[in-house]
Amino acid sequence: MARFGVEGIRYFSHGRAAGITTAGDLTYTFNRCNGLDQKLRSAAHSRAFYYSNTSCWETDIRDTDKGGDDTTYVDAVDLFWIDTHGGHEADGRIRLLYDIPKTNWRTVSDKWQLGENFNAEWVMAYACDTVHPAKLGGLWNIFAGLHIFCGAWDVMWDGITTDECGEDVGDNLINGCCVSEAWHDGVSDWAVDNHPATVCVGNAATWNGGNIRWDLSYLNRDHLWNHGNVDPDLAPAQQACILYHWSEG
């Protein structure tokens, strides 16, 4: 079975007071987080941690070699879900906002290195604009065994009709959808257009000299543990390409 962790940040009052951000508070953060949590636990998957607001720290995802504590948190679980405000740097690095500086107000993904000899296979960030389609190379470093980053190439809405997105993703995962499909379908909405994206690395066989074998990619093969196939980790030396799938709806 899978071990998973959840972090949800709804309020950003401390960041605004410190002049770090003008971002407003969210409304349905914990509807989404609770929905995923409940679905996965209903199928006997094990929750390792669930933190909220100022109990969520950027060091939870920062690599231990860079002063973080990922081997205790994000890199100690198979699946990690975070709900917050997001964005990306000009070079493609992911940026996520917190409401307490432990030790920084934001995490930037050049400080991540997920997988390695640890557990992380899938990171899901319900946050806006975390993936820059023209700058995917800025994400190479996060894949040290990580299989898929699930994020967004534009807006992800916080509204009454997207409050069930976490539940829908969880339902898809435990009913045999591949992880990428579970994300794209689960965060889609009938009233507003969300903009999900999934990013993975592939080996030389997947790259196939530029004639990509999508059927060999994590995006088309990986499932949550005990609900289908999970391909082996790819160490950095085995990686030959970085792949991207986007949708809108």
What is the DSSP code (8-state) at residue 178? B
- Tens digits of residue pLDDT in 185-211: 999 999 999 999 999 999 999 999 999
The pLDDT, as a whole number, for residue 25 is 98
In residues, how long is the chain? 249
* Residues 66, 110 contacting (CB under 8 angstroms): no
How far apart are the C-alpha atoms of 1 and 45, rounded to whole Å?
Answer: 5
d(CA 94, CA 86): 8
Give strand ranges (E) for 76-191: 79-83, 86-88, 94-97, 106-108, 114-115, 122-126, 143-144, 148-152
User: Tell me, what CATH number does 127's domain have?
Assistant: 3.40.50
Q: Which of 7-21, 23-37, 105-119, 173-187 has the lowest mean pLDDT?
A: 105-119
Please report the pLDDT score of residue 38 as a whole number.
98
What is the rounded average pLDDT of the residues 176-182?
Answer: 98
State percent of the chain over pLDDT 90. 98
Instruction: Burial-class residue 191 by CB neighbours within 10 Å (0-12, 13-18, 19+).
Output: exposed
Give the tens place of pLDDT for each residue, 101-112.
999 999 999 999
3-state class (DSSP) for residue 122:
strand
Instruction: Output the pLDDT for position 118.
Output: 74
Residue 122 φ/ψ, nearest 5 degrees: -140, 130
Domain count, the chain: 1
For residues 130-149, average pLDDT: 97
> What is the pLDDT at residue 114?
97
CA distance 97 to 226: 33
The structure tokens listed for 5 are 């962790």
pLDDT, residue 116, reads 86
71-93 residue pLDDT tens? 999 999 999 999 999 999 999 99
Flag whether pLDDT at 117 surpasses 80: no
Q: Three-state SS string across 44-59, please? A: CCEEEEEEEHHHCCHH
Range of the domain at 133: 3-246
- Determine the average pLDDT of the residues in 15-22: 98
Q: Which of 150, 148, 153, 147 has its CA nearest to residue 133?
A: 153
Instruction: State how far the Cα of 178 lies from the Cα of 161, in Å rounded to an integer.
Output: 24
Q: How confident is the model at residue 177 (pLDDT cuts 50, 70, 90)?
A: very high
